[in-house]
Amino acid sequence: MTELLSNYVAGRWQAGTGAGTVLLDPVLGTELVRVDATGLDLADAFAFARENGGAALRALNYQQRGQLLAQVVQVLQGQREAYYEIATANSGTVKNDSAVDIDGGIFTLGQYARMGEQLGARHHLQDGELARLGKDPLFQSQHVLVPTRGVALFINAFNFPSWGLWEKAAPALLSGVPVIIKPATATAWLTQRMVKDVVDAGVLPAGALSVICGSSQGLLDQLQPFDVVSFTGSADTAEVIRSHPAVTRRSVRVNIEADSLNSALLLPGASAEAVDLLVKEVAREMTVKSGQKCTAIRRVLVPEAQAAEVAAAISARLAKTTVGNPRNESVRMGALVSRAQLQSVKEGLALLKQEAQVLHDGATHKLVDADPAVACCVGPTLLGLKDAAASDAAKLVHEHEVFGPVATLVPYRDSAHAFELIRRGQGSLVTSLYGNDTGALACAALELADSHGRVHIISPDVAALHTGHGNVMPQSLHGGPGRAGGGEELGGLRALNFYHRRAAIQASTAVLDQLQPPTPASAA
């Protein structure tokens, strides 16, 4: 029987008492490990994290907690090769795609470690300047941010078992808030292994970092008023979380990152170089992690007169993508994470084909070193709407996300039409803009900022410098309004706001002077 991975809660490793769920290699179909959380004393787990982990973290200042994050980085860097092996086996990703997850998570931790150093030996953050409450400046108000005295519960998605963990845990731990991670079952192995390495190294105080692998049943029931919960996943599950009594009655703070029909927009009058940048980015975003990214490009908006040209160029690049077993060095795109995900992508494609035609058929890609009857592999597929009128008539293309290597070309008449079509996505994590006219790019960015968490502008002058449409950098916000969940993560020190409580201290100037003065780097 395959190994049963233990859960780390209440300061010790504990195995579930059930048979568990078997995790599979999505290419070979072989059994890897089992996960199970049956029988865990969840109340004890949350209480231990809240009381022991929270107290130990809050006893440290920001600089000291940043130093702990730096030590976590060292531990993880020492085990990178093992993490790559797990990612290949459990997620079916090629090495470059695994790096986005593994090295991206470690990089984010390192960034927050440095931010802790910037914040220095402080135990709270000041939010703004002193505010006079009357004519006499003797009695004033100072807003402060202090760590919440609760636990942070993270319910993560299957596509980023490393980055999804650390991009949330880094600002939480730096804030002084203990963390309980519930990774997606299908790819929980990498998350569990990373937590195990950090725990075994003895870097963090007991209760600061916990992991529960298996069912999420009962987790939300443990949440108390000063706890927070951050979720990445489907809008349906997000609705369940938002309607839970912990949220509706106990006012537990919630951050949601859900579905997102992200777009790429080629502005009118773009040069051939700008068109090429769009083509390269679309093809890359469709194939990195087999399109299983919440930030991947799903809709490609181009002027109606250029639709055929762009379609041919993207199709030509996609045709060169080798698909199959990530262990083969010639393979550039690995597998979807599971048979269920493969079936979901196939069903989604069938749905979109009711409105769009196939411009590049993923079925033409012959799998390399992989059995089609077993492997969860699918080639990249580019769909397209016939013309601008079809873009107006389309409904599914603007509402249904296929979470795989699929994108749809959407022709538009003019800029105003393009903006309207993009907004039909009802809120997205990111849109990217391509063109040469700096004024037009800036205007388009402001026009679309209200419906996106991030606007990524790629012009020829930054062709070799930009960080990528789908790459989430810790310095910039990650999240989006509307159907994208309405949440915010990262954004540098802004991420710390979620794990702090803001209060106004009203007192004499002499008392307020005893509070530590503001620093150039603040979480406000």
Q: Which domains does the chain have, with CATH numbers?
A: 3-258+488-513 (3.40.605.10), 263-473 (3.40.309.10)
Confidence at residue 521, expressed as pLDDT on a 0 to 100 scale: 46
pLDDT value at 332 more than 60: yes
pLDDT in tens, 28-58: 999 999 999 999 999 999 999 999 999 999 9
Question: Is 70 exceeded by the pLDDT of residue 524?
Answer: no
Tens-place pLDDT, residues 251-291:
999 999 998 999 999 999 999 999 999 999 999 999 999 99
Averaged confidence pLDDT in the chain: 96
The reported pLDDT for the residue numbered 517 is 56
Sort strands 381-384 and 406-412 into parallel, antiparallel or unpaired: parallel
Buried b (16+ CB within 10 A) or exposed e, 135-148: eeeeebebbbbebb
Residues that are catalytic:
257, 294
Percent of the residues in the chain that have a pLDDT greater than 70, as a whole number: 98
Q: What are the beta bridge partners of residue 255? A: 230
What pLDDT shows up at residue 135? 87
DSSP letter (8 states) at residue 214? S
For residues 259 and 353, what is the distance between their CA atoms, to the nearest angstrom? 20
Q: What would the two tokens of residue 494 be?
A: 């802004």
Structure tokens at 221: 């029931």
What is the sign, positive or negative, of the torsion defined by CA atoms of 113, 116, 117, 123?
Answer: negative
Question: How far is residue 453's CA from residue 429's CA, in Å, rounded to a whole number?
Answer: 5
Q: Locate tokens 């599971």: which residue?
A: 338
Q: Per-residue pLDDT averaged across 136-149, rounded? A: 94
Which SS3 state, helix, strand or coil, does residue 146 take? Answer: strand
User: Per DSSP, which regions of 378-480 are E strands?
Assistant: 381-384, 406-412, 428-434, 452-458, 477-480
Beta-bridge partner residues of 80: none
Tokens of 155: 């319910």
The CA distance from 250 to 160, in Å, is 30
Please write the tens of the pLDDT for every residue from 208-242. Answer: 999 999 888 899 999 999 999 999 999 899 999 99
Q: For residue 115, which of 53, 163, 174 has the smallest C-alpha distance?
A: 174
Helix axes 95-119, 62-77, angle to 10 degrees: 160
Distance CA 410, CA 398 (A): 10
Instruction: Name, in order, each residue with C-beta under 8 angstroms of 272's C-beta and a sequence gap of 6 or more.
Output: none
Residues 337/26, Cβ–Cβ less than 8 Å: yes
Per cent of the chain over pLDDT 90 is 95
Nearest-angstrom CA–CA distance, 141 and 98:
49
Q: Each residue of 58-73: pLDDT tens digit?
A: 999 999 999 999 999 9
**What secondary structure letter does DSSP report for 454?**
E
Three-state DSSP at 54 gives helix
pLDDT digits (tens, 9 = 90+) for 426-436: 999 999 999 99
Confidence of residue 467 (pLDDT cuts 50, 70, 90): very high
The Cβ-side half-sphere exposure at 444, using a 13 Å CA radius, reads 28
Predicted confidence at residue 179, as pLDDT, reads 98
- pTM passes above 0.85: yes
330: tokens are 């010639």
